[in-house]
Amino acid sequence: MCFIVVAALFGNLLVMVSVMRHRKLRVITNYFVVSLALADMLVAIFAMCFNASFELTGRWMFGRFMCDVWNSMDVYFSTVSILHLCCISVDRYYAIVQPLDYPLIMTKARTVVMLASVWVSPVLISFAPIFAGWYTTAAHDRERLRHPDVCAFVVNKQYAVVSSSVSFWVPGVIMLFTYYRIYQEADRQERMLYRCTFRKDTL
């Protein structure tokens, strides 16, 4: 587990430093990549370290409040990562499918708004419902009081539907659509290139 944490920190830090050091890499797409690398680094620091302690000792030693913090960070950073991947797919969609409109659509201002939304919106399905107690069942709440050395994440049906939709299904559908359209466009351009090459060879 310690090796995974160190590897995650080193790998993502390398990505961030590479983009910052090389001016040619400072393009819109890489803003999302750097932000994603930062999110993954924070996962390694705040979520994986608690998980390593839990795996080593077999019990939760930090109390109920920190259990909620850990679960919140787990949900939060997982959602942040998925939303980053969704933003990258949208960016690539406009760059490849609508290249002439790309500079007008994917401006720096719009990129900042997208990144801000990616970092802020997951709070609504992580910290807010978990600390308010909306995410779980009454039976699990009573169980937590009896066993403070256990940090299990048990959710009710309503929270499961809403959180999975926001953090997985909706971004997943968007990514499927964008990458399918990218594939179609790449295939179309390849066929056009083949026809042009074929005509040139026959002349």
3-state helix, strand, coil in the chain (%, to 5): 85, 0, 15
- pLDDT 10s digits, 136-167: 998 998 888 888 888 889 999 999 999 999 99
Residue ranges in the chain assigned as alpha helix (H): 2-21, 28-42, 49-57, 63-97, 102-105, 108-120, 127-132, 138-146, 157-164, 170-202
Q: Which range of residues forms the domain containing residue 185?
A: 1-202
Q: Which two tokens stand for residue 57?
A: 């000792």
3-state secondary structure of 154: coil
Closest CA to 34 of 15, 49, 50, 47: 15
Rg (CA), the chain: 22
Give yes or no for residue 2 having a pLDDT over 60: yes
Total structural domains in the chain?
A: 1
CATH number of domain containing 125: 1.20.1070.10
pTM recorded for the entire structure? 0.89
Can you give the pLDDT at residue 5? 76
